[in-house]
């Protein structure tokens, strides 16, 4: 980075970064320094806090890289090399510090780089402010809003350049309007809103311009879009349109119209333009171009008057279609004009026919007004998008950037140049006033030692000549417009009469200069002499817009077009209501606008960028010594440097100074009782301890302190910044103390309240306990009173006994018991596995069948597990044989499950006991040989069982009754002294129900009968069985079947 501290060895190499560092101040030194720097690619140089910029006419990427931009963040100007970034940073810093409005005035000739500088400024401010917001940890909504606002402002640049810039002989991208952009910030320095004001668009460029120049860029841009030209049936060849063809320039080497057009479209869309708005805009642009192609010819039918007709009605028709208005009315308003005669009630209107020249003038007026209104509407829409009513109340301060058209001299200078140069004079005057005159006047007023320098060029006389009262050039021009039939010659005569002897005015009468005709005059501007051709002055100043044209446009059915002419409706109604008149002529309107602007700039802290054009040929790296010297001269550069070098960079009222810096000096902190001036002196002592240096750096005026160099000011700020943490701690201490006291008080009150509440609660509880106690005692008393008659004894109760019976159970209690049992059972069942549940089901059925204890069958064991298969057990030595037999049985098919298998004693038809193996499957009852495990006879079908019977004694016999002729089966199921009657019976009842759906009965009989002798031929005889205990002394553990006479038998069973 370029060192900023002056090293005089550097002058020869890269030049000094600040002109104020020059030891011997003269024009040559300034020229040498600026030229050296320019050739070493240092295009920026300071004059104190101003930046002088020399247009390089070539891209200097490194100057604007992100890295360069970042290196300027939060830096002071004197710490970093001269750049527009440092000026932008300084402006933004001052805005944050002082909360005062700031403005940056960019001046310079046309093509000197003002517009580029404004873009560089905006880029920096955008990035710096957003970066600042991020550091401040702003809420994301504001951050987004700031980014959106800055993006919209940057985007609007593209639109404004397309519609307001054009190629001139001096600059390929010359701004043909002036603009003042205001970026408005909230208190934290976030951009929240914006405003753009435009000054006097050079609308005559739409129809006339010098050869080699172009009209506004947008015309060439939109013709590059085939889609649009074919949509509106327009020719895409610029040379087809007379308005574009006349100046014989269509392309600019370094401008890509097609690409720019796409950017414009995107920017318009980001501002919220709908496709309908865009289409209406293309229609107007197309119409403006076609209007230029309208031609007029004499009307043959009206031989004795000067009247014309439109020569090419097809074009007229196209224009009417594009503008969506009536074709006849449009023609009428182009070739004739309605005039109002008389006043009030005697008012009448006549139609005057126009000659060819007048018709052409009217035609151009229409094109101009359409374009001008379109431009203004675009700015209005931009303003609507970038400003916000909601944020308005949060606006704290603003930065205004003024980029107005630069001083211009052409071969033929017309009204526009006059206005442009007039505005440059005004800005130059502002500069002189703020930088040169006011500074010095203040030093003297304040009694500071100062030698007044007045050898700068003061342009006040030129401004007086132009806008002076009661007579000035503008006034004469306005008068000329009010009087009909006024000519340039008459106007010149008037000018000569008043200003013939004025130093800055020349005309053919006052000079021998032959180039000045009787239709022109020369003004000696601060930047050079310019000869103005008066030919179009009166017309352009009047800027007539014929009412008929306005009426025609107002009859359009296109809403967008109508909105361009809305103000005319308003004006008409204002005229009717007699509202305040707006100045009518262009120059007087401009005078009001520029004076307003100057007023606004005067109320801001100004910053300057002075742009210099190194050559007229736009040649990169070429330094035209004479051309630059001329600019240095008229910009009063030498004088500015002198004043700045000798002067003071900063002045502040003592009160403000003391308030801001009192923490620097122990004497003034925290209270100072003396005068403010003495206070400021105390601060200065700390700032510069050496009295000699202090005298050189600080001057104490009557009301203000003056600080000589920026360095001292920055040192002051640094001292303040160093003290600020201490101040902050004091403020924090007080604030925290205050907060803690506040908290303590509120906490004390809260605790007191809580205590009272607790006491109340305790009391309440005590009361409740007391009431409860009383009530309980009351209940006991009443109970005992009830008992008293019994308790007192027989003597007193007359023989009544104390009640001993419990009160009766209520139905509800029964129900609750049932519910409880049900719930208890459910809980039990739920805890069982599926297998266990099946067993429980069997046990319940067994319980149903056999009852508990002695009720139905004696001695059946409810707790015994029904194991079903007793032969696959390890206790069976022939276990394997048995399982083979079972496999064989299952292979025959039909049977799937063994319900019971065990050895039993079977009683045959002759009453003999036989040991058998009984296998009950899901389908059959099989009798097997209990040794060989072979099947005896066929299996008995379970579904043909009709009943079961047993005794209710302790025997273990069961009779299974089959449907005749199948024989009943009588078996002893207690061979191993374990009772299995209950298991077999339950299984059989369950299985018969499963197979047939009927529940067979289990009968308890004594004597018990069964028939095991019938077959298909004989019905057999019933066996009758009776039951008896073993006789005493002959007891056995198992039962015994003893056959009696005929078909009777006795079964002996063990005693209980
Ligand atoms: N800082 C710069 N760096 C490179 N080129 C520049 C710079 N400033 C200006 N130019 C060139 O000069 C031309 C004219 O600049 P512009 O800002 O339009 O001038 P003005 O607004 O003063 O009429 C630009 O189009 C650009 O080519
Ligand atoms: Mg410009």
pLDDT digits (tens, 9 = 90+) for 890-915: 888 788 899 999 999 999 988 899 99
Report which ligand 1 atom has the smallest distance to the Cα of 106. 22
Query: Helix or strand or coil: residue 937?
Result: strand
The alpha carbon of 573 and the centre of ligand 2 are apart by a number of angstroms equal to 37
Q: For a ligand 1 pocket test, name from 105, 164, 171 the mutation site with the most ligand atoms within 8 angstroms of its C-beta.
A: 171
Residues 6+ apart with CB under 8 A from 565: 373, 550, 553, 554
Report which ligand 1 atom has the smallest distance to the Cα of 165. 18
Tell me the torsion sign for CA atoms 757, 761, 762, 764: positive
Is 400's C-beta closer than 6 angstroms to any atom of ligand 1? no
Q: Give the closest ligand to the alpha carbon of residue 406.
A: 1
* Beta-carbon-side half-sphere exposure of residue 963 (alpha carbons within 13 Å): 7
Q: Is 109 annotated as a binding residue?
A: yes
Average of per-residue pLDDT across 801-806:
54
CA 946 to chain centre: 89
Residue 353 has pLDDT above 70, yes or no: yes
Residue 670 has pLDDT above 80, yes or no: yes
Q: 114-134 b/e with 16+ CB inside 10 Å = b?
A: bbbbbbbbbbbbbbbbbebbe
Q: Is 115 annotated as a binding residue?
A: yes
Is 161's C-beta closer than 6 angstroms to any atom of ligand 1? no
Portion of the chain with pLDDT greater than 90, in percent: 45
Q: For a ligand 1 pocket test, name from 37, 41, 55 the mutation site with the most ligand atoms within 8 angstroms of its C-beta.
A: 55
Is 171's C-beta closer than 6 angstroms to any atom of ligand 1? yes
Average of per-residue pLDDT across 605-616:
93
Is 943's C-beta closer than 6 angstroms to any atom of ligand 1? no
Instruction: Give nearest CA residue, ligand 1 atom 8.
Output: 113
As a whole number of angstroms, the distance between CA 90 and CA 288 comes to 45
The alpha carbon of 587 and the centre of ligand 2 are apart by a number of angstroms equal to 21
Tell me the torsion sign for CA atoms 276, 282, 283, 285: positive
Q: Is 36 annotated as a binding residue?
A: no
pLDDT digit string, tens, across residues 55-107: 999 988 889 999 999 999 988 776 789 999 999 999 999 898 888 899 999 98
Residue 9 has pLDDT above 90, yes or no: no
* Contact in structure between 693 and 707 (CB atoms under 8 Å): no
Residue 797 has pLDDT above 60, yes or no: no
Q: Give the closest ligand to the alpha carbon of residue 407.
A: 1
The model's pTM is 0.65
Helices 356-386 and 275-292 meet at what angle, rounded to 10? Answer: 160
Residue 256 has pLDDT above 80, yes or no: yes
Is 967's C-beta closer than 6 angstroms to any atom of ligand 1? no
As a whole number of angstroms, the distance between CA 444 and CA 446 comes to 5
Q: 77 or 761: which carries more pLDDT confidence?
A: 761
pLDDT of res. 865: 86
Strands lying side by side in the sheet with 924-929: 935-941, 924-929, 913-921, 898-907, 969-972, 957-962, 945-950, 1002-1004
pLDDT of res. 919: 94
Q: For a ligand 1 pocket test, name from 42, 52, 113 the mutation site with the most ligand atoms within 8 angstroms of its C-beta.
A: 113
Residue 1055 has pLDDT above 80, yes or no: no
pLDDT of res. 658: 92
* Beta-carbon-side half-sphere exposure of residue 36 (alpha carbons within 13 Å): 17
pLDDT digit string, tens, across residues 938-955: 899 999 999 999 998 888
Average of per-residue pLDDT across 718-742:
91
Q: Is 113 annotated as a binding residue?
A: yes
What tokens does 42 get?
């240092």
Instruction: Give nearest CA residue, ligand 1 atom 9.
Output: 113
The alpha carbon of 59 and the centre of ligand 1 are apart by a number of angstroms equal to 9
The alpha carbon of 403 and the centre of ligand 2 are apart by a number of angstroms equal to 7
Residue 451 has pLDDT above 50, yes or no: yes
DSSP state of 21: G
Cis amide bond preceding 965, omega within 30: yes
Residue 721 has pLDDT above 50, yes or no: yes
Is 985's C-beta closer than 6 angstroms to any atom of ligand 1? no
Q: Give the closest ligand to the alpha carbon of residue 113.
A: 1
Average of per-residue pLDDT across 672-699:
92
Residue 339 has pLDDT above 90, yes or no: no
* Contact in structure between 182 and 194 (CB atoms under 8 Å): yes
Is 119's C-beta closer than 6 angstroms to any atom of ligand 1? no
As a whole number of angstroms, the distance between CA 725 and CA 722 comes to 7
* Contact in structure between 971 and 907 (CB atoms under 8 Å): yes
pLDDT band at 807 (very low <50, low <70, confident <90, very high): low
Nearest-Å Rg of the Cα atoms of the chain is 60
As a whole number of angstroms, the distance between CA 374 and CA 561 comes to 8
Average of per-residue pLDDT across 969-978:
89
Q: 381 or 584: which carries more pLDDT confidence?
A: 381
Instruction: Give nearest CA residue, ligand 1 atom 14.
Output: 111
pLDDT band at 137 (very low <50, low <70, confident <90, very high): low
pLDDT of res. 799: 55
Q: What are phi and psi of 552, to 5 degrees?
A: -60, -45
pLDDT digit string, tens, across residues 388-440: 766 667 788 999 999 988 788 888 898 989 998 999 899 888 888 887 777 78
Average of per-residue pLDDT across 545-553:
84
Which residues belong to the active site? 110-111, 115, 171, 174-175, 406, 408
pLDDT of res. 794: 45
The alpha carbon of 391 and the centre of ligand 2 are apart by a number of angstroms equal to 30
* Separate counts of helices (H) and strands (E) for the chain: 36, 31
Give the pairing of strands 505-507 and 520-525: antiparallel
Q: Is 114 annotated as a binding residue?
A: yes
The alpha carbon of 264 and the centre of ligand 2 are apart by a number of angstroms equal to 18
CB neighbourhood size of 932 (10 A) = 11
- Torsion, CA 146, CA 150, CA 155, CA 157, rounded to 10: 150
Give the pairing of strands 44-47 and 505-507: unpaired
Report which ligand 1 atom has the smallest distance to the Cα of 43. 1
Residue 578 has pLDDT above 60, yes or no: no
The alpha carbon of 837 and the centre of ligand 2 are apart by a number of angstroms equal to 100
What tokens does 972 get?
């002893």
* Contact in structure between 295 and 243 (CB atoms under 8 Å): no
Encode 796-858 in three state secondary structure: HHCCCCCCCCCCCCCHHHHHHHHHHHHHHHHHHHHCCCHHHHHHHHHHHHHHHHHCCCCCCCC
As a whole number of angstroms, the distance between CA 1013 and CA 909 comes to 5
As a whole number of angstroms, the distance between CA 454 and CA 434 comes to 14
Is 982's C-beta closer than 6 angstroms to any atom of ligand 1? no
pLDDT of res. 540: 85
- Torsion, CA 853, CA 854, CA 858, CA 863, rounded to 10: -10
pLDDT band at 675 (very low <50, low <70, confident <90, very high): very high
Residue 200: burial class (beta carbons within 10 Å; 0-12, 13-18, 19+): buried
């Amino acid at each position: 980075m370029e060192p900023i501290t002056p090293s005089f060895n550097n002058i020869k190499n890269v030049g000094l970064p600040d002109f104020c560092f020059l030891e011997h101040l003269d024009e040559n030194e300034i020229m040498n320094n600026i030229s050296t720097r320019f050739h070493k690619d240092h295009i920026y140089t300071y004059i104190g806090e101003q930046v002088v910029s020399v247009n390089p006419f070539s891209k200097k990427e490194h100057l604007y890289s992100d890295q360069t931009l970042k290196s300027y963040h939060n830096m002071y100007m004197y710490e970093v090399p001269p750049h527009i970034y440092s000026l932008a940073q300084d402006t933004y810093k001052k805005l944050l510090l002082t909360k005062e409005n700031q403005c940056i005035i960019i001046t310079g000739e046309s093509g000197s780089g003002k517009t580029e500088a404004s873009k560089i400024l905006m880029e920096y401010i955008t990035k710096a402010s957003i970066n600042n917001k991020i550091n401040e940890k702003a809420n994301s909504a504001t951050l987004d809003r700031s980014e959106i606002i800055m993006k919209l402002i940057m985007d609007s640049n593209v639109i404004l350049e397309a519609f307001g810039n054009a190629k001139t002989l001096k600059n390929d991208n010359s701004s043909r309007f002036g603009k003042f952009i205001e970026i408005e910030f909230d208190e934290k320095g976030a951009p929240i809103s914006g405003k753009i004001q435009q000054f006097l668009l050079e609308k005559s460029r739409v129809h006339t311009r010098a050869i080699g120049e172009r009209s506004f860029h947008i015309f060439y841009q939109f013709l590059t879009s085939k889609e649009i030209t074919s949509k509106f049936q327009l020719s895409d060849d610029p040379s087809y349109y007379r308005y574009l063809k006349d100046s014989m320039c269509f392309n600019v080497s370094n401008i890509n119209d097609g690409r720019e057009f796409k950017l414009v479209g995107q920017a318009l869309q980001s501002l919220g333009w709908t496709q309908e708005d865009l289409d209406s805009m293309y229609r107007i642009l197309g119409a403006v171009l076609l209007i230029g192609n309208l031609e007029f010819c004499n009307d043959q039918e009206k031989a004795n008057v000067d009247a014309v007709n439109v020569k090419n009605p097809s074009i007229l028709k196209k224009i009417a279609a594009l503008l969506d208005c009536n074709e006849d009315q449009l023609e009428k308003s182009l070739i004739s004009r309605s005039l109002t005669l008389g006043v009030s009630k005697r008012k009448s209107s006549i139609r005057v026919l126009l000659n060819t020249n007048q018709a052409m003038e009217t035609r151009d007026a229409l094109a101009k007004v359409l374009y001008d209104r379109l431009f203004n509407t675009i700015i209005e829409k931009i303003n609507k998008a970038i400003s916000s009513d909601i944020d308005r109340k949060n606006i704290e301060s603003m930065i205004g950037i003024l980029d107005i058209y630069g001083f211009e001299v052409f071969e033929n200078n017309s009204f526009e140049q006059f206005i442009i140069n007039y505005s440059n004079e005004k800005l130059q005057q502002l500069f002189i006033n703020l930088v040169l005159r006011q500074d010095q006047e203040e030093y003297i007023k304040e009694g500071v030692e100062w030698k007044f320098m007045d050898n700068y060029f003061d342009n006040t006389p030129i401004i007086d000549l132009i806008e002076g009262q009661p007579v000035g050039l503008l006034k004469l021009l306005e008068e000329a417009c009010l009087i009909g039939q006024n000519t340039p010659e008459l106007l010149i005569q008037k000018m000569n009469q008043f200003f013939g002897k004025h130093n800055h005015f020349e005309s053919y009468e006052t000079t021998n200069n032959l180039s000045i005709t009787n239709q022109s005059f020369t003004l000696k501007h601060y930047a050079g002499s310019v000869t103005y051709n008066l030919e179009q002055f009166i017309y352009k100043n009047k800027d007539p817009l014929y009412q008929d044209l306005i009426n025609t446009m107002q009859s359009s059915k296109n809403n967008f077009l109508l909105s361009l002419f809305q103000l005319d409706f308003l004006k008409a109604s204002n005229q009717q209501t007699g509202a305040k008149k707006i100045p009518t002529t262009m120059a007087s309107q401009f005078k009001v606008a520029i004076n307003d602007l100057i007023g606004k700039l005067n109320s801001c802290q100004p910053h300057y960028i002075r742009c210099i054009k190194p050559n007229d040929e736009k040649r990169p790296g070429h330094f035209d010594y004479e051309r630059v010297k001329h600019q240095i001269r008229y910009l009063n550069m030498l004088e500015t440097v002198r004043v700045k070098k000798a002067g003071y960079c900063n002045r502040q009222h003592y009160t403000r100074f003391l308030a801001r810096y009192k923490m620097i000096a122990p004497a003034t902190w925290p209270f100072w009782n003396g005068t403010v001036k003495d206070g400021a002196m105390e601060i200065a002592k700390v700032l510069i301890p050496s009295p000699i240096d202090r005298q050189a750096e600080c001057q104490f005026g009557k009301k203000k302190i003056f600080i000589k160099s920026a360095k001292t000011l920055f040192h002051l700020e640094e001292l303040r910044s160093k003290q600020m943490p201490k101040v902050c701690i004091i403020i924090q201490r007080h604030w925290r103390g205050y907060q803690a006291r506040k908290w303590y008080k509120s906490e004390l009150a809260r605790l007191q309240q809580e205590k009272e509440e607790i006491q109340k609660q305790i009391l309440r509880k005590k009361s409740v306990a007391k009431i409860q106690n009383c009530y309980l005692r009351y209940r006991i008393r009443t109970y005992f009173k009830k008992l008293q008659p019994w308790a007192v004894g027989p003597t007193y109760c007359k023989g009544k006994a104390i009640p001993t019976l419990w009160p009766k159970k209520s139905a509800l209690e029964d129900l609750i018991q049932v519910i409880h049992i049900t719930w208890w059972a459910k809980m039990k069942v739920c805890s069982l596995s599926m297998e266990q549940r099946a067993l429980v089901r069997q046990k319940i059925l067994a319980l149903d069948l056999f009852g508990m204890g002695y009720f139905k069958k004696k001695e059946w064991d409810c707790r015994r597990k029904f194991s079903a298969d007793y032969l696959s057990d390890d206790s069976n030595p022939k276990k394997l044989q048995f399982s083979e037999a079972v496999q064989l049985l299952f292979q025959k098919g039909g049977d799937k499950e063994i319900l019971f298998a065990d050895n039993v004693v079977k009683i045959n038809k002759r009453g003999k006991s036989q040991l058998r193996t009984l296998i009950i499957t899901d389908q059959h009852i099989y009798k097997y040989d209990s040794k060989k495990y072979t099947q005896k006879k066929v299996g008995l079908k379970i579904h043909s069982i009709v009943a079961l019977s047993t005794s209710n004694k302790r025997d273990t016999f069961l009779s299974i009754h089959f449907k005749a002729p199948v024989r009943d089966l009588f078996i002893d199921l207690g061979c191993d002294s374990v009772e299995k009657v209950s298991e077999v019976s339950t299984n059989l009842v369950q299985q018969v129900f499963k197979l047939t759906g009927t529940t067979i009965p289990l009968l308890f009989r004594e004597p018990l009968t069964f028939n095991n002798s019938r077959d298909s031929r004989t019905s057999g005889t019933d066996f009758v069985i009776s039951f008896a205990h073993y006789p005493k002394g002959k007891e056995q553990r198992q039962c015994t079947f003893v056959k009696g006479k005929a078909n009777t038998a006795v079964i002996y069973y063990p005693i209980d």
